[in-house]
Structure 1
Amino acid sequence: MMAEYLLFGTERYALPILQPLADALQEAGHGVHAWFVDGAKDAALRGGVRPVAHARAAVALRPRAVFSAANWVPTFVSGAKVQVFHGFNVEKRDEARGHFRVRGLFDLYCTQGPATTARFSELAAREGHFKVVETGWPKLDPVFRGEDPLADGWRAAAHGRPVVMFASTFTERLSAAPHLFDAIAAEVAQGARFWLLTLHPKCPPSLFERYRSLAGPNAVFVDPLDLVSAQRAADVLLADTTSVVSEFVVQRKPVVTFRNRAPKPHMLDFDAPDRLGAMLRQAFDPSLSLRAALDAYADDIHPFRDGLSSQRVMAATEALIAGELGVLRRKPVASLLRQLQIRRDLGYWGRAARTPSR
């Protein structure tokens, strides 16, 4: 039976997370709508996904479920509220403020792998107002499925040279981009490797200008929306404390990190820009212990390699709606203030929509 679903995001990085889910829902014959606000307000998904212009339109839609790639979700819209996450846990903040913060807004958390499932399951058992199912992450479906002409084009442009991808977080105190520009520029000029350069969409425009200036026969600047294609094309990643590190490691490829906040055995971490060349040489000739660490970490954060995480998210949502995951307790009173803030921010003070009967 056809149903209507709503995809929700607050930043442009939500697009590559939600697009595979939109595709899977449409392949199953459902209607798919997208509501983007704040930093993603003018964004759109491909393939016939219908945009939602404002809160009243979202309420009138009465979706069967709302899938959010943000920290929050408009609770006044009908349907199951499903958290699909905007990134991996890279330990930028302590647990109380970071990845495992429970805001009392979601009914279902679709986790990426054992590393996050275990902790969220503990919280669900304690709180009782949400369920947890390990599904994998929709964003990574294209990494493991289908052809990628963009990635193939970049590999062709490399003319047989090794391919390095550079990605950086926007968090100023953690960003490698300002510190590594000169070292990366020197590597690009040398031409021994082909570079795919990208930055988080929220990085300062001046940084975008500097890194775009390196584009030429030895490098291209990659739109942040094409991150997955870049990950497929690259042999090695250079980064910092961005969640792209975890996304890349899922492919079992080496990563070099600059001053990572919480370096792990699967990373080649360094803190002096003049060591960049040596670190890259080490990454392109990884030791057996490094390969073992990459495998172990990848299995822990995202063991799925079939490209079917979107379908698992859909199945978990249906199980929740059907009551197969058990009964949910009422949302905590503490979440009411956040719900009022969401209404204020989205300009909606009407009645909350009732979920249609199933």
Structure 2
Amino acid sequence: MSDYLLFATERYALPILAPLAQALHASGQQVSAWFEGNARGLEGQVAPFVRKVDLKQAVALRPRAVFSAANWVPTFLSGAKVQLFHGFNVEKRADTRGHFRVRGLFDLYCTQGPATTVPFRALAEREGHFAVAQTGWPKLDPLFRDDGGASAALRARTGGRPVILFGSTFTERLSAAPLLIDQIAADIARGEHYWLLTLHPKCPQALFYRYRALAGPNAAFIEPEQVMAAQRAADVLVSDTSSIVSEFIVQHKPVVTLRNRAPKPHMLDFHDPAQLPVQLESALHPSAALMDAIVRYADAIHPDRDGHASERVITATEDFIDGELGTLRSKPFGARLRALQIRRELRYWGRGAR
């Protein structure tokens, strides 16, 4: 039995790491979790068998691999450092600051699909200090396999009405949450649709209060741990420039976006909040051209629909450890500086392990 370590800094990492934890456990491995920041204390929500460790215990554990759902990982931990990503590339920022930023902290990037794999392989060839394997994203595994009845339970509340999921980014300048709440409240009051409402954990608490208050016979508020079940249950997503757009569309379902930063043919994007009812009608009765665009985009970002990305992540990690993905160059000087910054932020100057 080998030790594997899960690392997270935000609550939204839980649904990313949970399927991987289940797959590791099913293969007979020991799974531990060291969570920092806003994820601290949530280890038990990933899976009951996950062992909680603190910083010093994580170092002493000498894990075979560390799986990170953050954009950084402490390099003083032993084992392969594996990047799982905390979302899709939704073009919120320039590539050098966003999805394709390479800080020199990871040994292996487990990419979601060709749209991410191709750029990262080009970066790997240029930089030489990390490997890339296209595995799919563990977070999406529950979309394509039995979820224990969680999504069916959500649909059971709807009375056969169309189900609309609302999810918004926390980035204030891009968020639809404050702009659409009145229109969503009005639609909920009409009762023609059933709404599932969720917000990014980093959204302002004032928005949480307002959206939670909409729950009732025509709507439910969804916590982060329920979001995957909500995506399975919903017929249409309403969002903005959030990664949930890409997550949802992988199921080949329509998405309505308000003022998306980089609108694409697979979205029904609009600028005037008053147009929400019209856009919902178009999404519930999508054209053939829209569905073609949805399928093309979904296949580019995440073609695997078998629910076994977690198992492929484990296989890729073992292949990397066994040297089957090539030999890496030394990490760049900038990575060493970032490693020192991480030590300072964590207030840890003890001996690391490799």
Q: Whole-Å Cα distance in 2 between the matches of residues 98 and 148 of structure 1?
A: 35
1:148 is displaced (CA, Å) by 3.8
Q: Whole-Å Cα distance in 1 between the matches of residues 147 and 335 of structure 2?
A: 43
| 2:38 match | 39
Q: Residue type matched to 2:20 in 1?
A: L
Q: Whole-Å Cα distance in 2 between the matches of residues 95 and 308 of structure 1?
A: 28
The answer to whether the aligner puts 1:209 opposite 2:202 as a matched pair is no
Q: Whole-Å Cα distance in 2 between the matches of residues 88 and 72 of structure 1?
A: 16
The answer to whether the aligner puts 1:169 opposite 2:169 as a matched pair is yes
1:5 is displaced (CA, Å) by 0.2
- The question of whether the paired residues in 1 share the 8 Å contact of 2:70 and 2:85 is answered with yes
How big is each residue's C-alpha offset from its partner over 1:176-210, in whole Å with a ceiling of 9 and x where there is no partner? 00000000000000000000000000101110000
How big is each residue's C-alpha offset from its partner over 1:245-279, in whole Å with a ceiling of 9 and x where there is no partner? 00000000000000000000000000101100000
1:149 is displaced (CA, Å) by 2.0
TM-score, normalisation: structure 2: 0.99
1:46 is displaced (CA, Å) by 1.5
| 1:126 match | 126
The answer to whether the aligner puts 1:29 opposite 2:28 as a matched pair is yes
- The question of whether the paired residues in 2 share the 8 Å contact of 1:23 and 1:47 is answered with no
Alignment length (residue pairs): 352
How big is each residue's C-alpha offset from its partner over 1:10-49, in whole Å with a ceiling of 9 and x where there is no partner? 1000000000000000000000001110111121221310
1:347 is displaced (CA, Å) by 1.8
| 1:8 match | 7
Query: Secondary structure at the residue paired with 2:168?
Result: coil
Q: Whole-Å Cα distance in 2 between the matches of residues 223 and 339 of structure 1?
A: 34
| 1:348 match | 348
Q: Which moved more, 1:108-117 or 1:341-350?
A: 341-350
Q: Residue type matched to 2:158 in 1?
A: A
| 1:19 match | 18
- Identity %, equivalent residues: 65
1:352 is displaced (CA, Å) by 1.4
Query: Secondary structure at the residue paired with 1:257?
Result: strand
Q: Whole-Å Cα distance in 2 between the matches of residues 344 and 58 of structure 1?
A: 17
1:337 is displaced (CA, Å) by 1.1
Query: Secondary structure at the residue paired with 2:75?
Result: coil
Q: Whole-Å Cα distance in 1 between the matches of residues 163 and 339 of structure 2?
A: 46
Q: Whole-Å Cα distance in 1 between the matches of residues 61 and 150 of structure 2?
A: 35
- The question of whether the paired residues in 1 share the 8 Å contact of 2:3 and 2:29 is answered with yes
Query: Secondary structure at the residue paired with 2:256?
Result: strand
Q: Residue type matched to 1:39 in 2?
A: N
Q: Whole-Å Cα distance in 2 between the matches of residues 11 and 147 of structure 1?
A: 23
The answer to whether the aligner puts 1:103 opposite 2:111 as a matched pair is no
| 1:116 match | 116
Q: Residue type matched to 1:293 in 2?
A: A
| 2:226 match | 226
How big is each residue's C-alpha offset from its partner over 1:84-138, in whole Å with a ceiling of 9 and x where there is no partner? 0000000000011000000000000000000000000000000000000000000
- The question of whether the paired residues in 1 share the 8 Å contact of 2:268 and 2:279 is answered with yes
**Unaligned runs of at least 5 residues, structure 1:** none
**Unaligned runs of at least 5 residues, structure 2:** none
Q: Residue type matched to 1:282 in 2?
A: S
Q: Residue type matched to 1:26 in 2?
A: H
- The question of whether the paired residues in 1 share the 8 Å contact of 2:147 and 2:229 is answered with no
1:225 is displaced (CA, Å) by 1.8
Q: Residue type matched to 1:341 in 2?
A: Q
- The question of whether the paired residues in 2 share the 8 Å contact of 1:148 and 1:229 is answered with no
1:236-255 superposed matches below 5 A = 236-255=236-255
- The question of whether the paired residues in 1 share the 8 Å contact of 2:201 and 2:224 is answered with yes
1:313 is displaced (CA, Å) by 0.3
The two structures, once aligned, show a CA RMSD in angstroms of 0.7
Q: Residue type matched to 2:113 in 1?
A: G
How big is each residue's C-alpha offset from its partner over 1:48-87, in whole Å with a ceiling of 9 and x where there is no partner? 100112x211100000000000000010000000000000
Query: Secondary structure at the residue paired with 1:157?
Result: coil
| 1:65 match | 65
Query: Secondary structure at the residue paired with 2:238?
Result: strand
| 1:320 match | 320
Q: Residue type matched to 2:29 in 1?
A: H
Query: Secondary structure at the residue paired with 1:197?
Result: strand
Q: Whole-Å Cα distance in 2 between the matches of residues 111 and 150 of structure 1?
A: 27
Query: Secondary structure at the residue paired with 1:303?
Result: coil
Q: Whole-Å Cα distance in 2 between the matches of residues 128 and 212 of structure 1?
A: 48
Q: Residue type matched to 2:8 in 1?
A: G
Query: Secondary structure at the residue paired with 1:86?
Result: coil
